Amino acid sequence: MALLEARGLIKIFGKLTALNGADLTVAENEFHGLIGPNGSGKSTLMKCVAGAEIPTSGTVTFGGRDISQASPAERARAGMSLKFQITSVLPALTLYDNILLALQAQCSLPSLVFSRSRGVLHDRAMAMLEQFRLVDRAAEPASALSHGQQQWLEIAMALAPEPKLLLLDEPTGGMSLEERRVTGELLQPIKKKCSLVIVEHDLDFIRDICDRLTVLDQGSVLDCGSVAHIQSSARVQEVYLRRA
Amino acid sequence: MTETTPTTSLPLPVRVGHQRRWQVLPIIEIVVLAIAVLLPFVLKDYLTIYATRVLILCLFALSFDLVWGYAGIMSFGQAVFFGTAGYGVALIARDLGVTSILLVLPAGLLIGFAFALLLGGFLLLGRHPSSVIFVSLGTLTGSYAADRVARGWYYLGGQNGIPSIPPMSLGSYDITEGPVYYYMTLGILLAVYLLCRFLVRSQFGLALAGLRENEQRIAFFGYQVQRLKAIIFSFAGAVAGLAGSLYAFHEGFVWPNMLGVVISTQVVLYVLFGGSGTLIGAVIGTVAIEAVSFWLSNSYQDIWPIILGVLLLLVILFRPAGLISLILSERERVGNFGRLPEEGDRGSS
């Protein structure tokens, strides 16, 4: 059974139809890329899956449960985690507190008030910072990081609660070539732990890490399949050449 | 590709959250407390009474700092909880003859809590997070409506309020205004301050900081942001209720202004002037504004409100983080959250 299934998603903003019957299926431990020209509906599809937008029609099931109308918090509690397109770390808090904030989201109120889970979560917070090469800067405010490091911190925050599905919206946006390469390295180990849906403009990057790709054009799925299949798809090439 | 395997128990290259560097905040807190303890020894009696009123307003200011400074909820209606608790205990004293401190203060606290839960539930517990504008205008309207209701309700004394409230008592001892009331209020303020400090420096405080910094982001972590807001709003309402009941017995009467927009705005100014999100900033702001008002009203009887207004404007324009930011760093203001157990305890809690 697929971990995530979105069927016939339509999203209309006023006179604009951003999604026009889009489908998306993601299996467990699959890295799935969403590509397409600007305005093709990639980010809207991601938002409909994460709960930032409620689709005008269509269904989203996650782990066999219909979550089409669920709030972002309910989806997060079901095991979904999102990294926004625009970096949204909490700049005034330290890197450590940013991670701890993500880790403790599902702790009970008494546990938070009496800080009971801090000891248990400490090692996990430090391990996440270590994994994303930020451990030496744990006590610094997030605002002190470079843009690329803030992106890493946000991926670490999204991964910290050990989600079943990680949604990354343009994780390498604004990064240097070297930072993109390192980001690819950092993402590779998580394949054993969760599935990934990634929206990305850098086709080389997405080709290197994804198992399957879905190509969107004008709010609809143009093609879907393995990386090799998409690379050889005449329809996909036509769309990209048309927009180039 | 290089795979980085996280270790399960890492050495700590930095003592995260427990740096042993010099901290300014505890020093400020101790100095303020020491001054407050010694004040009645140097003040004349009428000034001790005035200082007691200021301490009660400090308690009220803490309630606003909790909602705005820590949770980012802009409440222009804190006076609703201050005033309803004041009226509530005044009615209990007038109609039931109950003045025992052991009953009236918990009653005031509960009244503040209940009204905050009602108003907060209405404004904050919708399906989608409420906007700052909606909450600001909603609380402002609540304050205005409460003021109008009190003015028009004969049972509550109408425009004149409820006069001649008997003094609060402990057994057969009446607690009247003066040094005893002052130290009792100081003790309550200290206890509430420490409780608030415990709360905002806990992991719950970290959740509040997340709420203040980026509410949408933390909803995607799984936080129930509306519920978090309603909890802190109700807790702050209880603190305002406690302050309102102390105020009612100290002044000996309650009147509609206690519920209104003017005092609701006044408490916003106390906190913005002193510095929000530090607790001690709320105390310093209240003392500074009240002291300057007192001095100016004696020295410049006709133009003192104008001078005070300009002073407030200057501080808010040039020190948006308030007076406290002159001596307190941003990092210390944000602070750390939760107690980190010693190495041996970690993993076993």
* CA–CA distance, A37 with A40 (Å, rounded to integer): 6
Write out chain A residues lying below 8 Å of B348, CB-based.
119
* CA–CA distance, B207 with B214 (Å, rounded to integer): 10
Write out chain A residues lying below 8 Å of B337, CB-based.
97, 100, 115, 118
Write out chain A residues lying below 8 Å of B204, CB-based.
109, 112-113
* Phi and psi based region of residue B277 (left: phi greater than 0; alpha: psi -120 to 50; beta: remaining): left
Q: Are B73 and B124 in contact (CB under 8 A)?
A: yes
Q: 13-52 in B: which are within 8 Å (CB) of A?
A: 13-17, 19
Of B1, B202, B349, the CB nearest to A188: B1
The residue assigned the tokens 């200290």 is: B190
The three-state secondary structure class of B275 is coil
Confirm or reject contact between A72 and chain B (CB < 8 A). Answer: yes
Confirm or reject contact between B298 and chain A (CB < 8 A). Answer: no
The residue of A31, A77, A122 whose CB has the most chain B CBs within 10 angstroms, and thus the best one to mutate to test that interface, is A122
Confirm or reject contact between A126 and chain B (CB < 8 A). Answer: yes
- Cα dist. B234→B65, B82, B196, B226, B262 in Å? 13, 12, 13, 12, 21
Distance from CA of B349 to the nearest CA of A (A): 6
The residue assigned the tokens 């991601």 is: A46
Distance from CA of B155 to the nearest CA of A (A): 41
| Cβ contact, residue pair B349, A102, below 8 Å | no
The residue of B198, B220, B349 whose CB has the most chain A CBs within 10 angstroms, and thus the best one to mutate to test that interface, is B220
Q: 8-67 in A: which are within 8 Å (CB) of B?
A: 50-52
| Cβ contact, residue pair B13, A105, below 8 Å | no
Q: Are B115 and B80 in contact (CB under 8 A)?
A: yes
Confirm or reject contact between A123 and chain B (CB < 8 A). Answer: yes
In this structure, what DSSP letter does residue B279 have? Answer: S
Backbone φ and ψ for A58, nearest 5 degrees, come out as 105, 170
Q: What is the mean pLDDT of chain B?
A: 89
Write out chain A residues lying below 8 Å of B276, CB-based.
none
* CA–CA distance, B235 with B231 (Å, rounded to integer): 6
Confirm or reject contact between B342 and chain A (CB < 8 A). Answer: no
- Cα dist. A72→A54, B100, B176 in Å? 10, 48, 54
Backbone φ and ψ for A59, nearest 5 degrees, come out as -125, 150
Distance from CA of B347 to the nearest CA of A (A): 5
| Cβ contact, residue pair A119, B345, below 8 Å | yes
Give the helix, strand, coil percentages of chain B, each rounded to 5: 70, 5, 30
pLDDT tens, N- to C-terminus, chain A (244 residues): 789 999 999 999 988 999 999 999 999 989 999 998 888 899 899 999 999 899 999 999 999 999 999 999 999 999 999 988 888 899 999 999 999 999 999 899 999 999 988 888 999 999 999 999 999 999 999 999 998 899 999 999 999 999 999 999 888 888 888 888 888 888 888 888 899 999 988 888 888 889 999 999 889 999 999 988 988 888 888 777 565 5
Residue B9 has pLDDT above 50, yes or no: no
What are residue A199's DSSP bridge partners?
Answer: A34, A169
Q: Are B73 and B258 in contact (CB under 8 A)?
A: no
pLDDT of residue B346: 47
* CA–CA distance, B100 with B98 (Å, rounded to integer): 6
Contacts of B320 (CB under 8 A, 6+ apart): none
pLDDT band at B340 (very low <50, low <70, confident <90, very high): low
The three-state secondary structure class of B140 is helix
